[in-house]
Structure 1
Amino acid sequence: MSASLGPVREVWAQRSRARTRGDLLYLLYVVAMGAVVLGLPALLSAGRALARGDVLALLLSAGAPPTAIALSLAVAAGLVGLGAVRGPALLPPFFTATLAGGPLPRGRVLRRPFARALLLPLLAGALPAVLVAATLMAADRTGPGTAALLALAGVGLGLLWGGAWSAGQLLRPTPRRLLILLVGLGAAIAAAPPLMAVRELARGMWSQSVAPSDGQVAAWAVGLVAAGAAGIALCTALLGRLRGTELAAQATRWEAATTSATATDLAGAAGAFRALPAAGRRLRAIGGGPTVLLYARRDAVAWLRTPDRCAGGALAVLLGAVALGGAPLLPGPAAWTALLLGALALRTGAGAFVDGIRHGVHTLGAPPLLGQRAGTQLLLHAAAPGLLLVTFGALGGTLVAVVVGGAASGPVMLPVAVAATVLAARAWEAAKGTMPLALATPIPTPQGDLSVLVMLAWQADAVVVPLLGAAALLLVLPSGPGAVLLTAAALVGLLVLLTRRRLRELQA
C-alpha cells in the first residue's frame, strides 16, 4: 500500500460537508482579521491599563527574569504531565484505528493533528509576551523593535512548551516522572533567588531597575526560537514511536470528554480524565475505630491508589497556597494575579482529594447503608480532605512567612481560609446535578440566541464562586485575623446551606 495520505484525503474530501480550500482560506481570513481588529487592540488597551508604577517596577526589576524562568519551567512540568493524559498528537478513535493503527507510517499520519495542537502552547506563550511588550511600550520604556523581539521570545517559549507537551506523550511513565521532577527542580532553583529577595523588598533585587538591552532581548528571542524549533523537530521525528494502545486510550478518553462538554456536562468531561486506580491493591480500606477515622482511612487509601494524581494534586495545592500567601505582599494588579492563580491552583489540586464527596452525592438514589444519608456521608468524607487542604494551606503560607521574615499573619491566614472555602465549594459543586432544562430555553435577541450565556454561567459558577470567595478574603485581610475568620466562616456556612438545598432538590 502507498505510504502517501493523498488517497485518504481525496476520499475524505468527497464528503457532503467537507470543507473546500475556499472555506479554509475564508476561515484563516476571519481568524486573522479577528486578531487584528479585536485581539490586538484589546492587548494594547490592557497594556495601557497596566502601565502604572507598581507594575512597571516589577516588570523592570532584577527579580523579573528569574521569576519568568521559574514560571515557564513550572508550566513545562505541568505540560509534561498533561501529555500522559491528552497528548498533542491525537486523532479521533476512528482515525486512530484506521490510519494511525494501519499500514501507513504513524508519524506521517500524526503530523497534522500535532501541528494543530501546537497552536495552543504558541498562543499561551505569545499572548503574555505581547501583553508585557504592550505595557512597556505604553510607558515609553521600549520601542517597537524590542517589543517585536519580546513577542518572538514568547513564540519560542510556546514552541518549548509544545515540545514538553509532546515529550509527556512520548515518554514512558518512569522517564516521564523523572523529567517532571527535573524540570520542577529547575523551576524551584530559578525561583529561589527572587523569593529570598522578598525579605529585602525595599532594597533587594525587586527594587533594582535593570531593563534588558536590545541585544539581550534579541539573544533570548533567537535562543528560545532555535531551542523550541529543535525540540519540535525532534518530537515530530519521534511521532512514529507513539504506542497504539495509549493513542487509542487517549482518543477514547478525549472523545468522551468532548461529548460530555458538548452536552454541557463539564463535570462528566472532567471525570473522563481522572486516573484509574493502579496501585496499592493490598491496602486495607476497611478497619475499626470511630466512623470519622474509618471514612478518613477510606479516602486516604483511595488517594494512594492513584499516586500520580495524588502527588500532582498535593503539589498544586501547595503551590496555590504559596501564591495566595504571597498575594498580600504584592502591590496592585500583581496581588490580584497571584490571588487568581493561587485560588485556581488550589481548587484544581483539591479535585484529587474530593472523590469521596462525589461518591456521597452519587449515593442519593440508593438505599441508605448503615443508616447514613448522603448529607452525613458528605460531612464524613470532608474530614480527610479538609484536614489535608488546611494543612497544605498553612504549610504554603508558613513558607512565605519564613521567606519574608515578617511577623504578619496574613500570608498564613489567607491560604488556610481559602482552602476551607474551596472545600465547601467543591462539595457544593458535587451536589450540582444536571443542568435544568429551563436554562436551555431560547432567548432570541437581535444579536442571536443568548441562552448559551445562561448555560455557560450555570457551568462557570463552580469556578467563579471560589475565586469570589478568595477575593473577599483578600479584601478583609487588612482588618485583621478575626475578620478573615469571620468571613471564611460565613462563606463556608453559606456554601453548606446551599449544598444542603441542592441535596434536597436532588432527592425530590
Structure 2
Amino acid sequence: MTTHSVAAPDADAGARVHAVRHRYARRGDRATVRGRAYAAYLVALFGLIYLVPVFYAASTSPALVSVGSSADATPVACALAAAACWGAQLAGRFWGPLVIQPFLLYVFMSTDLSPASYLGAIARRRLVYAGAATLVTACAAAYLTTDLFDRLGTALPGLAAAVGLGAFAAVAWLWGQVRAVPDNLALASGAGAMALVVAAPSRLAPGGGGGLWLLALVLAAGAAALGRAALRSIRTVDLARLARESARASQARAYAWTGTLHHALDLYRPEPRGLTSALIRSGGLLRGYLAQGATRALRTLGRAIAAVASLLIGGAVLALGAAGPEGGPALFAWMAGAVGVYLGSGWVSETWRGLRDELTLPPLFGERWGGTLARTLTWPVVAVTAGACLGGGLALLAPWPWRGAPVADAAPLVAGSVVLALGARFLREMKLHLPLELLLPIVTPLGDLSGLRIVAWQFDGVVAVVIGVATMNAVPSALGAAALGIGVAACCVWMGLRRTGWAHRGLLSRLGRGENGRATRGSSR
C-alpha cells in the first residue's frame, strides 16, 4: 500500500495521515461493533457487581486514613506527585505514548511526512487518555482510603491537585520517551525538589491551608511548560528506536493476550553489558558463587540499582508494618513491603531463569543436584536477605511514634516475610506455559469466573505474598506467624518444582542418583 492509493498527491499532511489511519482501521482483523458492545457490557457488569458495593462500603464506613486538613495532606500529595512523575518517566522509556502498530509505523516512515505530522496527533490523544486515567485513579484511591472528599474545604483543593497530577504525569510519560537520559534525570531531580519545596511550608506552618492549591498550580505550570517542549521533541525522535520499541510492544501484547504475561515481561529485560572477564579468575577458573552473582547483577546496572532500592525500601516498609499496631495502615505497609522485597528479589539476579532451565532441560554436566542449587540460589538469597534486613533494621532502630510491637517480636515477622517473598519468587520464576485446564469455565451465579483464575495465575507471586502476609497477620504469636510464612514459602517451592515437571518420586530418585554417582566416583578414586 502506498500513499498514492489512499490520498491525493496534493493533499496536506493531515489528510494523508487521516487517510492512512482510516484505511488501516478498515482492515480485516479489526474489532467489530458487537465485540466492542460485549466488552462494554462486561465492564458495566464488573462495575455493577464489584465496584459499586466497594464504593458504597467506603462511603458508609470510617476512613482508613483520616485527613485533618489540606495542610496535613500536602506532604503525602507531594510525595505521590514525585513518585508518579518518576514512574511515568520510567514507563515512557519502555512503552511510551508514541508506540503504535509496527505496520502502521512502517507505512508512515515510508512516506515523506515528518514524524510530528503523524505522531503528534497520536501523542496528544494518548496524553489526554493517560491524564484522565490518572485523574480517575487518584480520585478513586483518595475516596476509598481517606476522608479527603468528605468536606468541601478539602475536596476542592484535593480535586485540583488530582487534575494537576494527571496532567503532569501524562506529560512526564511523553518526556521519558522522547528525551535523552540526562534530560530525564534533570526532570526527576526537579520533581523531587519541587515536592520538597511545596511540602516544606505545610510542615513548618501546619495552620496554612493553601498547600494543595499551590501543588496544583505548580503541577499545572510544569505540565504546560514540559508539554510544549516534549511535543516539539517529537520531530527529532529516533524512528529506528521507535520501530524496535513498537515491534517489541506488539510481541509483548500478543504474549499478554494469550495468557503468558511472564514471557511479555521477559522481552523488557535489559541486555547484560561488560564485566565478562570478571567472572573468571586469572588462573582460568570461575569465581565463587557470590562473586559470580554480584558480577552478573552489575552487568545490568540499572536493574541492579532498582533491586537495591526496592529491597531497602521494601525491607523498611515491611519492618514498619510488622512492628506497627494491628490493623489499619500497618497491615497495608506490611503487604507493600513484602511485595517490594518480592520485586527486588527478581531484579537482583538473572540466575532464577538459569535454575528454571536446569530444572526443565536435560542436565548438561550430569545430575549433580546440590551444585545446581548452590550455583543459582546463593547470590539471590544472600542479596535479598542482606538488603531486606538492612532496610528493616534501620527502620526498626529509628524512633517511629506509631510503632506498636517491640523489636524482638517484629524480627521473626520480618524474617518470615522475607522467606515468603523468596518462595513466591521461586514459584513465579518456575512458570512455563499457560495450563490448558485454566481455560475451562467456572460457572457461578455471577457468570464465568475463569478469567479471575487466569489473572491469579499471571500474578501468582504477588497473590502468594499478599495472602501469606494476611494469614501471618491473623496469627497472634510472632514465632507462629514466622513459621507459617516459612510453611507457605515451602508450599510455593513445592508448587514451583511441580511446574517444572518434578514429582515427589522423581525428585527423590534424582537425588539418589546424584548421591550414588558421587559415591561411585569417590570409590573409583
Task: Kindly indicate whether the alpha-carbon contact (under 8 Å) linking 1:428 and 1:495 is maintained by their aligned counterparts in 2.
Answer: yes
Task: Kindly indicate whether the alpha-carbon contact (under 8 Å) linking 1:44 and 1:131 is maintained by their aligned counterparts in 2.
Answer: no
Distance 1:55 1:93, change over 3 A: same
Task: Kindly indicate whether the alpha-carbon contact (under 8 Å) linking 1:319 and 1:345 is maintained by their aligned counterparts in 2.
Answer: yes
Residue-by-residue CA offset, 1:157-196 (whole Å, 9 max, x unaligned): 02211222222212223443454466567768999999xx
- Matched residue count: 487
Q: What does residue 324 of structure 1 align with?
A: 318
Q: Verify: 1:77 aligned to 2:107, yes or no.
A: no
Q: Report the more deviating stretch, 107-116 or 364-373.
A: 364-373
Larger radius of gyration: 2
Q: Verify: 1:488 aligned to 2:485, yes or no.
A: yes
Query: How far does residue 243 in structure 1 lie from its aligned partner after superposition?
Result: 0.9
1:35-74 equivalences under 5 Å are 41=52, 44-45=55-56, 47-48=58-59, 51-52=62-63, 55-56=65-66, 60=69, 64-74=73-83
Distance 1:412 1:426, change over 3 A: same
Of the three residues 1, 6, 30, the one matched with 2:18 is 6
Query: How far does residue 374 in structure 1 lie from its aligned partner after superposition?
Result: 6.4
Distance 1:155 1:354, change over 3 A: same
Q: Counterpart of 1:45 in structure 2: which amino acid?
A: Y
Query: How far does residue 274 in structure 1 lie from its aligned partner after superposition?
Result: 0.6
Measure the CA separation in 2 of the matches of 1:60 and 1:94. Answer: 52
Of the three residues 368, 386, 397, the one matched with 2:363 is 368
Q: Verify: 1:277 aligned to 2:272, yes or no.
A: yes
Q: Verify: 1:387 aligned to 2:386, yes or no.
A: no
Of the three residues 227, 230, 236, the one matched with 1:235 is 230
Query: How far does residue 320 in structure 1 lie from its aligned partner after superposition?
Result: 1.5
Query: How far does residue 442 in structure 1 lie from its aligned partner after superposition?
Result: 4.1
Measure the CA separation in 1 of the matches of 2:110 and 2:346. Answer: 34
Query: How far does residue 312 in structure 1 lie from its aligned partner after superposition?
Result: 1.3
Distance 1:74 1:403, change over 3 A: farther
Partner SS state of residue 91, structure 1: coil
Q: Verify: 1:312 aligned to 2:321, yes or no.
A: no
Residue-by-residue CA offset, 1:217-248 (whole Å, 9 max, x unaligned): 44543443343344334322322222112211
Q: Counterpart of 1:70 in structure 2: which amino acid?
A: A
Measure the CA separation in 2 of the matches of 1:338 and 1:487. Answer: 19
Q: Verify: 1:170 aligned to 2:167, yes or no.
A: no
Query: How far does residue 26 in structure 1 lie from its aligned partner after superposition?
Result: 8.0
**Structure 1 vs Structure 2 CA RMSD:** 4.1
Task: Kindly indicate whether the alpha-carbon contact (under 8 Å) linking 2:179 and 2:233 is maintained by their aligned counterparts in 1.
Answer: no
Q: Counterpart of 1:96 in structure 2: which amino acid?
A: L
Q: What does residue 132 of structure 1 align with?
A: 142
Measure the CA separation in 2 of the matches of 1:25 and 1:450. Answer: 20
Q: What does residue 462 of structure 2 align with?
A: 463
Partner SS state of residue 382, structure 1: helix
TM-score normalised by structure 1 residue count? 0.80
Measure the CA separation in 1 of the matches of 2:384 and 2:472. Answer: 17
Structure 2: runs of 5+ lacking an equivalent: 1-8, 508-525
Distance 1:426 1:253, change over 3 A: same
Task: Kindly indicate whether the alpha-carbon contact (under 8 Å) linking 2:252 and 2:264 is maintained by their aligned counterparts in 1.
Answer: yes
Measure the CA separation in 1 of the matches of 2:40 and 2:468. Answer: 42
Partner SS state of residue 397, structure 1: helix
Q: What does residue 426 of structure 1 align with?
A: 425
Task: Kindly indicate whether the alpha-carbon contact (under 8 Å) linking 1:329 and 1:335 is maintained by their aligned counterparts in 2.
Answer: yes
Q: What does residue 452 of structure 2 align with?
A: 453
Q: What does residue 200 of structure 1 align with?
A: none
Measure the CA separation in 2 of the matches of 1:8 and 1:412. Answer: 62
1:49-448 equivalences under 5 Å are 51-52=62-63, 55-56=65-66, 60=69, 64-100=73-109, 102-114=111-123, 115-116=125-126, 119-120=129-130, 122-133=132-143, 141-143=150-152, 146-177=154-185, 179-180=187-188, 183=191, 213=209, 217-285=212-280, 294-327=288-321, 328-329=323-324, 332-373=327-368, 376-404=371-399, 408-409=407-408, 413-443=412-442
Q: Report the more deviating stretch, 415-424 or 463-472.
A: 415-424
Q: Counterpart of 1:260 in structure 2: which amino acid?
A: Y
Task: Kindly indicate whether the alpha-carbon contact (under 8 Å) linking 2:198 and 2:214 is maintained by their aligned counterparts in 1.
Answer: no
Query: How far does residue 368 in structure 1 lie from its aligned partner after superposition?
Result: 1.9
Task: Kindly indicate whether the alpha-carbon contact (under 8 Å) linking 1:428 and 1:499 is maintained by their aligned counterparts in 2.
Answer: yes
TM-score normalised by structure 2 residue count? 0.78
Residue-by-residue CA offset, 1:274-320 (whole Å, 9 max, x unaligned): 111133344325688999x7333322222111101111122122222
Q: Report the more deviating stretch, 11-20 or 247-256.
A: 11-20
Measure the CA separation in 2 of the matches of 1:155 and 1:493. Answer: 46
Task: Kindly indicate whether the alpha-carbon contact (under 8 Å) linking 1:428 and 1:496 is maintained by their aligned counterparts in 2.
Answer: yes
Measure the CA separation in 1 of the matches of 2:199 and 2:316. Answer: 12
Measure the CA separation in 1 of the matches of 2:444 and 2:48. Answer: 24
Task: Kindly indicate whether the alpha-carbon contact (under 8 Å) linking 2:345 and 2:384 is maintained by their aligned counterparts in 1.
Answer: yes
Task: Kindly indicate whether the alpha-carbon contact (under 8 Å) linking 2:13 and 2:113 is maintained by their aligned counterparts in 1.
Answer: yes
Task: Kindly indicate whether the alpha-carbon contact (under 8 Å) linking 2:415 and 2:482 is maintained by their aligned counterparts in 1.
Answer: no
Measure the CA separation in 2 of the matches of 1:244 and 1:425. Answer: 40
Partner SS state of residue 404, structure 1: coil
Q: Report the more deviating stretch, 251-260 or 99-108.
A: 99-108
Query: How far does residue 268 in structure 1 lie from its aligned partner after superposition?
Result: 0.3
Question: What's the % identity of the aligned pairs?
Answer: 25
Partner SS state of residue 371, structure 1: coil
Measure the CA separation in 2 of the matches of 1:123 and 1:431. Answer: 34
Q: What does residue 202 of structure 1 align with?
A: none
Q: Counterpart of 2:338 in structure 1: which amino acid?
A: A
Q: What does residue 523 of structure 2 align with?
A: none
Task: Kindly indicate whether the alpha-carbon contact (under 8 Å) linking 2:74 and 2:212 is maintained by their aligned counterparts in 1.
Answer: no
Measure the CA separation in 2 of the matches of 1:305 and 1:369. Answer: 25
Measure the CA separation in 2 of the matches of 1:298 and 1:393. Answer: 21
Query: How far does residue 99 in structure 1 lie from its aligned partner after superposition?
Result: 1.5
Measure the CA separation in 2 of the matches of 1:274 and 1:303. Answer: 12
Distance 1:10 1:147, change over 3 A: same
Measure the CA separation in 2 of the matches of 1:67 and 1:468. Answer: 27
Residue-by-residue CA offset, 1:248-283 (whole Å, 9 max, x unaligned): 121122112111111111110110111111333443
Q: Counterpart of 1:161 in structure 2: which amino acid?
A: A
Q: Counterpart of 2:421 in structure 1: which amino acid?
A: V
Q: What does residue 477 of structure 2 align with?
A: 479
Distance 1:387 1:125, change over 3 A: farther
Measure the CA separation in 1 of the matches of 2:277 and 2:379. Answer: 21
Measure the CA separation in 1 of the matches of 2:200 and 2:283. Answer: 45
Partner SS state of residue 365, structure 2: helix
